[in-house]
Amino acid sequence: MAAAEARPDAPDLADAAAAWRGAYVHIPFCRRVCPYCDFAVVAGAGEHRGRYVEAVLAEIGMAEPFGPLQAVAFGGGTPTQLAAADLVRILHALAERFGIDRGAEVSLEANPEDWDRPTAAALAAGGFTRVSLGAQSFDRAVLTDLGRLHRPDDTRRAVAEARDAGFAHVNVDLIFGSPAEDDRSWEGGVAAALACEIDHLSTYALTVERGTALSKAVAAGAPGPVADVQAARYEWAMTEAAAAGFVRYETSNSARPGSACAYNLLTWAQGEYEAFGTGAHRHRDGARAWNVRRLDRYLERVEAGRRPQSGSESLDAAGREQERLLLGLRRAAGAVPGRAGEALLASPWGRRLVEAGVLESRDGRLIVARPLLGDEVSRAVLALDLDG
């Protein structure tokens, strides 16, 4: 693993993560489904939670040997909708099946309203080292518009309780672009997040995902996010985070030195990871696979003694090289050009991106210098024909 005070955007750190191994556990339960969410989640379903824990434990037991693990992540949904003791049981099952390196990072997502001192203490004692709190905003009107249940002070309290419990790293997630948000509420929210005792900040643009309640409302005439406004809010947040000592290491993620998220680094480096739970995606031996999304089908398959995989994909050498560059260019450290990078620089799209100052070749690496235009770079990479 990386040195304790490594810069989050260090090229050596970005490249080393390709050799790490990880595991992801999906917990689909939420108190309610947020209007913008298109993840594999279910509201309520309390009667299935015990069955789900047992199914995840059984699925872990079905997995082929893999590890030891350097990074483990619990996401959702809301992992803390399960009891802390159940989350620790799952973590211990991973350790027993695969092994977890001393010093490995173990993270989970949590909503501020589900977090309290006993939960924080039990998770820290059970081996969790990082928590990512879904604050999304520090403005009550914006939180209501986003369908969130907590209040701004709940986030401040949750951060303090995580630190008091001994969590090594605490992250806050923010979403920008809600129609209920204005410059004042966004800027105040960023300032409030940075004033908490956090060492990692994630800022995401509100997106209208097909099939969500938000997409249906926008289709019916409700206001949606405005791209130019979102761009300005993103740049403002990056400037303020940098002034507070945070280093942007991926398009949406900034951290203090020594505080980059290991699981994030692993996935962007095309590292390998196992995954468990509804809709969970894994990457092993050069192949990607994913589980069924529906809770009932997941439970039925696992309880019948079958792995709950619903699909898989194996890329050829050209596809993996294209994917390597696509993932790597999300990072501030960029990527070694390789075959795909050289083809990109030689392509008409790549030359235009270089001329526009969007794409740079620096110290033997390709770097997206203007991350707001990262989607343009991704489209150019996807347009490459490495088999030709």
Mind listing the pLDDT tens digit for each residue in 140-198?
A: 999 999 888 899 999 999 999 999 999 999 999 999 999 999 999 999 999 999 999 99
Confidence tier at 388 by pLDDT (50, 70, 90):
low
Please identify, among 233, 268, 303, the residue that sits at the C-terminal boundary of a domain: 268
Q: Are residues 123 and 202 in the same domain?
A: yes
Q: Is there a domain that residue 199 lies in?
A: yes
The predicted model gives 325-348 an average pLDDT of 96
Count how many residues are written for the chain. Answer: 388
The reply to whether 214 and 74 lie within a common domain is yes
Which tens digits make up the pLDDT trace of 305-322?
999 999 999 999 999 999
Q: Are residues 256 and 134 in the same domain?
A: yes
How confident is the model over 341-345, as a mean pLDDT? 96
Determine contact, residues 143/109, Cβ cutoff 8 Å.
no
328 or 43, which is more confident: 328
Residues 230-254 have pLDDT tens digits of 999 999 999 999 999 999 999 999 9
Percent over 70 (pLDDT), the chain = 98
Give the mean model confidence (pLDDT) for residues 29-40: 80
Q: At 214, which amino acid appears?
A: L
Is 36 contained in some domain?
Answer: yes
Domain range enclosing 148 = 11-268
Q: What's the confidence (pLDDT) of residue 360?
A: 96
Whether 101 is covered by a domain: the verdict is yes
Cα 272 to its chain centre, rounded Å, is: 15
Q: Which of 229, 246, 268 finishes a domain? A: 268
For residue 2, name the pLDDT band (cuts at 50, 70, 90): very low
Residue 40: give its domain's CATH number: 3.80.30.20
**Average pLDDT over the chain, rounded to whole?**
93
Interhelix angle 295-303/49-62, rounded to 10 degrees, is: 50
Residues 315-341 have a mean pLDDT of 95
Instruction: Give pLDDT, residue 4.
Output: 53
Judge if 362 and 250 occupy the same domain.
Answer: no
Last residue of a domain, one of 205, 239, 268: 268
Question: Which pLDDT belongs to residue 31?
Answer: 84
Amino acid at position 191, single letter: A
252, 348: one domain: no
Q: Give tens-digit pLDDT for 249-270.
A: 999 999 999 999 999 999 999 9
* Mean pLDDT, rounded, for 327-337: 97
As a whole number, mean pLDDT of residues 210-224 equals 85
pLDDT at residue 62, rounded to an integer: 96
Euclidean distance between CA atoms 299 and 305, whole angstroms: 10
Question: Which one has a higher pLDDT value, 56 or 212?
Answer: 56
Looking at the fold, whether 119 and 35 belong to one and the same domain comes out as: yes
State how far the Cα of 206 lies from the Cα of 136, in Å rounded to an integer: 10
* Domains identified in the chain, total number: 2
Look at phi and psi of residue 203 and say left if phi exceeds 0, alpha if psi is from -120 to 50, else beta: beta
